[in-house]
Amino acid sequence: MRMVMLVEAPTSAGAYAPGQEDGPRALLDAGLVERLEAGGLVVHRGGRVSPFRWRPDPKSPRAANVGAVIDRAGQVAGLVRSAPGEGIVVVLGGDCTVGVGTVAGLLDRVERLGVVYVDRHADLNVPDSRIDGALDWMGVAHMLDVDGTLDELAALAGQRPMLSAGQVSFLGLGPHTDFEAKVIVDRALPVVDALSMASDPIGSARTALSPLAACDGLAIHFDVDLVDFLDAPLAENTDRGIAPSLAACGEALRELLADTRVRALTITEFNPHHGSQDGDSTQRLLDVLVNALSGAE
């Protein structure tokens, strides 16, 4: 039976506003552990990082709450690093910066790590390229050590860069900043856009995996803001209209997680306060995650 180790990362330090810090607890309270076990998985609890609720940080306007972001990503890295060798680590975020910790924690566990970044945003910005200061859309830039990244976060794994261009593949990408577009072109980063994923989620997942054929381990990063907000109001981001449905995201995740090289799944940007009051939105997300991890149709 497949083993899953759950790591809780209840932090919104890198976000635009609070809410995502409550995502891990909402999934657990909705029955995540019991549903995974009913799906035939062996579930272990792998620890919990120190909670952090977003707050304004006028002293660091270009990299808000940077100390908390680095500390929590470091805690995630430590918990992932200590996970058993078999099975999949599932990191329950939290904002997208926890994914930097997941990658950092995996680097000494595999020879060559590949990351499928399932997200509407490329997260390739750096503090000097954006005035808003939200580090949660700068995570991949720090993994790749793009010029202008913060030294301590980029070096979280003890090596720089954490990943090369041949180790990252984007799935579900929507509009991005001019700075991000230049990085994508300059580094020839492979992209499957949101419209392609919406129309053919399984084929798009296979396309995203193909550039990572030389990798012996994979991390899947799933930002729920990829989901069309009108279909399932789950995320901190309320964009709508061009994105895949929750069901389409589930099909793509199931295809990705069927790859035996997967070592970790990071789930980010789930804001349970945006969903339906009766909890139906959370249950729908739970269905998708359980089915993807268990391989159920």
The predicted-structure confidence for 127-160, as pLDDT tens digits, reads as follows 999 999 999 999 999 999 999 999 999 999 999 9
Domain count, the chain: 1
Which are the contacts of 127, defined by CB distance < 8 A and separation ≥ 6? 62, 63, 133, 135, 138, 148, 149, 150
- The pLDDT of residue 242 is 73
- The pLDDT of residue 193 is 97
User: Average pLDDT of 211-236?
Assistant: 95
User: For the range 210-214, what are the long-range contacts, defined as Cβ-Cβ under 8 Å and sequence gap of 24 or more?
Assistant: 211/166, 211/169, 212/114, 212/115, 212/116, 212/166, 212/167, 212/169, 214/112, 214/114, 214/166
Order of strands, sheet of 217-223, starting from the edge strand that comes earlier in the sequence: 42-48, 3-9, 88-93, 262-268, 217-223, 113-118, 168-173, 191-193
Domain containing residue 150: 3-294
Nearest to 173 by CA among 165, 181, 161: 181
Over residues 81-126, the pLDDT tens digits come to: 999 878 999 999 999 999 999 999 999 999 999 999 999 999 999 9
CA angle 189, 123, 264 (to 5 degrees): 80
- The pLDDT of residue 240 is 66
pLDDT band at residue 297 under the 50/70/90 scheme: low
**Separation in Å, CA 134 to CA 54, 90, 110:** 10, 24, 30
CATH number at residue 170: 3.40.800.10
Q: How far apart are CA 121 and CA 117, in angstroms?
A: 9
- The pLDDT of residue 150 is 97
- The pLDDT of residue 86 is 84
